[in-house]
Amino acid sequence: IYRKANPTTLPTFLLIGPSGGGKTALLTLTERNTVLPTHTSTVPLAIEALLPEGYTPNSAHYRSAGDPAYERARRFLLLDTPGHGKLRHFATTQLVNPTNVRGIIFVVDAASVAEEAGLNEAAEYLHDVLLALQKRYTGAKTSKGPKEIQVLIAANKMDLFTALPPHLVKIELEKAISEVRKSRAKGLKDSGVALAGEDDSLDEEREWLGEGGEGSFEFAQMEEVGTSVTVKGGNVTGGGVDVKSWFEWIAEQL
């Protein structure tokens, strides 16, 4: 039992996001330090990874490289999930009881979110992920609340000239999620889930992401439920590789 630390106790980062965003490409790059051709994923895939040199795990800032505790702190699991609409249960079941999940890396194709269809798909998926995190927090039995899970929105494919810059990816996703939130609430009403009565208004509240009221959704509202959402740009392929800001984010969570 003591021969090797059980890999399932390692801090885990989930790769989630719409199909084609670049999750598997990022996983491959992390594992092999090189980019290989990918196919659309049909099953999840976990790898044990090591924070590359040049990044310092947050928990080991006062230790030096080579120190066993420092080296241990560099280890993490990366779990890739299929983005296809019919295969998202692999990702969403991870959110029901995310024992060792330290963070979620939501990978989006920043060029595809420049168009309405791509934006809406990403917003719907992200809405559901954030709502799952919110429910986990508000439904927690302990007074301390569950361990925090942070979210990185990896705005990928910055090498494409049609890619939206990260600050616009953020604004566009927030706007689109506001719309998702509205139509979901309307759907609940129309479906008759919320017939008059107190319990139903409670239901509606539970299904409403972020702050109530007329305002729009902002990622900052997730702070209330223990999740900070950060958007950072990069690219996995496309001539050069730029994943620095994503690894910096992972290092901060370790």
Question: Where does this chain bind ligand GTP (CB under 6 A)?
Answer: 17, 19-25, 38, 40-41, 82-84, 107, 156-157, 159-160, 235-238
Taking the C-alpha atoms of residue 243 and residue 235, their distance in angstroms, rounded to an integer, is 6
Among 16-24, 52-60, 68-76, 103-111, which window interacts with Mg ion (CB under 5 A)?
16-24
Taking the C-alpha atoms of residue 12 and residue 27, their distance in angstroms, rounded to an integer, is 13
List binders of Mg ion among 37-96 (CB under 5 A): 41
- Kindly tell me the burial class for residue 55, based on how many C-beta atoms sit within 10 Å of its own C-beta (0-12, 13-18, 19 or more): middle
Shortest distance, position 227 Cβ to ligand GTP, whole Å: 22
Shortest distance, position 149 Cβ to ligand GTP, whole Å: 20
Nearest to ligand GTP by Cβ — which residue? Answer: 83
Closer residue to Mg ion (CB): 82 or 210: 82
Closer residue to ligand GTP (CB): 85 or 187: 85
Shortest distance, position 23 Cβ to Mg ion, whole Å: 5
Shortest distance, position 120 Cβ to ligand GTP, whole Å: 17
CA torsion sign for 246, 247, 248, 253 is positive
**What's the Rg (C-alpha) of the chain?**
19
Question: Angle, nearest 10°, between helix axes 198-206 and 166-190?
Answer: 160
